[in-house]
Structure 1
Amino acid sequence: MENLIKRVLVSDNAIKIIDQLRERHGELMFHQSGGCCDGSSPMCFPKGELMLNENDVKLGTIHGCDFFMSKDQFEYWKHTQLTVDVTTGRGASFSLEIPLGLRFVIKSRMYTDEEREHLEPVQSAEEV
């Protein structure tokens, strides 16, 4: 089987925060929001707390957490590899890291032509 290129990655700093949040809240999930109020930040929730539907897709898994995005937003971002990172500062969302004085952020880069031929497939949230 060929090695597929992941659509979403996670930084070492974000892994540390995910571990802290998992200890406190159990299994987690991420959703890359597209709303105006949260600055389009990736949001972390207890697994199953955010209701997903046919308008969401799963891009992959980061540090044991499913990572979702709306189909409409994925159309804009499908040419980029996303990396979840963390920074200081409070975001304006309901994400679990906010009380820690931190917020998850997305860093992105364009895929190369070769990488685009070997991307992990996305799944409908309904299939997960």
Structure 2
Amino acid sequence: MFHPHLPRVAILAAAASAVVAAGLAGADTPASVTVETQLAYQVTTLTINGTATCQGGGTAGVTVVDGSLDQMFEGGIGGPIAIQLDGPVLVNCDGSLQHWSGNLVAPGRVLPNSSGGQLTVNLSQGQTTLATTGPHPAYIVR
């Protein structure tokens, strides 16, 4: 014999599970940002590309932080050259995969045409970092 309230409890449990599953399915996916390893040499700039995804509307900015290249010269390697984006790079936060592109410059320095190094790319809204690549290798291609 079963308890008379058991069918109602089973229906309520199934309904609660469906609500939780629907909530998880509709939950915002976390923001992400990627960067391609190759930097295309353009004489005065390097072209950098990647993808980003974010939710919640508005825009988010892509920034290069801690970017540096080893200065290559005949006979050895010189000190690092700091690199940064030459202007704002924005993506829409509409939940879809956004492709982004920008130009890297080395303020006060000449860019090498053959070099490698590393950089970190952040995706941010205001002061909040939504996603980061962490240190990522990069190299110049001609």
Superposition TM-score, scaled by structure 1 size: 0.29
> 1 or 2, which has the higher strand percentage?
2
Superposition TM-score, scaled by structure 2 size: 0.27
